[in-house]
Amino acid sequence: MNGLYTNQPLGSSLMLTRRLSGLGAGGRTWFISSISRSFTRSSIMAKSKFEYVRSFETDDTCLRNCYIVVRLDGRNFHRFSEQHTFTKPNDDRALGLMARSARSVMEELEDIVIAYGQSDEFSFVFKRSSTWFKRRASKLMTHVASQFSSSYVFYWKEFFGEQPLLCPPSFDGRVVLYPSNRNLRDYLCWRQADCHINNLYNTVFWALVQKGGLTTAQADDRLKGTLASDKNEILFSEFDINYNNESAVHRKGTSLVWEKKDETVTKRMKLPNTEEKEVRVTRSRRRVEALHCDLIGEQFWEEHPDILEEEETC
């Protein structure tokens, strides 16, 4: 007790222990309660003092009743494809990996009703009524980009085997809102038309280089000012290639949609007054399916009516 109140330098925990040991049970309770209230008041004051910094955050809530499209593009993928010796004009391993990564995103964020991809880009469409992440654009974009990028690395070996991943892939993203079904359809048609234009050019370009013996500069010069019909003619007359017979995944890109699939499993069940036995049970599950089809015509939309939501009328 003699050293209870001294000016000797003691550690805070030791000092508190000595103070408490010199008090009765009631005194200790009062002392602890006082300290607790003091800490609580201090914490609240500190929080309120610094909380003003939240006012610097911008409100990026997406407008209601609009489809939210998050589009990712590979960053510096021209160099990335050269470093990993992608096959030209199309590397099916790389395209398969892109689609697998996109499927991972859809399975994580089930409000995505369709995803469309080609080359090193993928667009993800959130349904118009989605409330994921309170419709905050930054949250949606960063979650999609991070899930896609990590999946690209995670599934690399599934498509490239023992070929090492030499550098980390990265994807930039943007968020665009489309208020009507027509706007959304036109966006997806635009991306598919871009796929066709780019793939036709690349198919002719690499045919001229790989089969025609031209340099890349000569091939580029040869194709300047040519129309789609000219490119088709070069392919057919010089290389006996009918562009319409090229792989649909190259010409049309990849559309990922949700489809219900019946799944039959065997379960062991015991019914009243019977012995346990195996029973085959069929159940319906939603799964992400990859399609390589035309989005510009009506057939796809008629076969997948759940993608578009009904327009609101006044």
Show binding-site residues for GTP.
73-78, 119-120
With vertex at residue 195, the alpha carbon angle to CA 286 and CA 121, rounded to the nearest 5 degrees, is 60
**In angstroms, rounded to a whole number, what is the distance separating the alpha carbons of residues 191 and 197?**
10
User: Which pair of tokens denotes residue 296?
Assistant: 């510009």
Residues 6+ apart with CB under 8 A from 236: 242, 243
DSSP label of 285 = E
Residues 6+ apart with CB under 8 A from 28: 20
CA diameter of the chain: 107
Query: Distance between terminal CA atoms of the chain?
Result: 82
Neighbours of 246 (CB within 10 A): 16
Q: How many residues comprise the chain?
A: 314
**In angstroms, rounded to a whole number, what is the distance separating the alpha carbons of residues 230 and 16?**
89
Neighbours of 69 (CB within 10 A): 24
Annotated binding site: 73-78, 119-120
Annotated binding site for Mg(2+): 73-74, 120
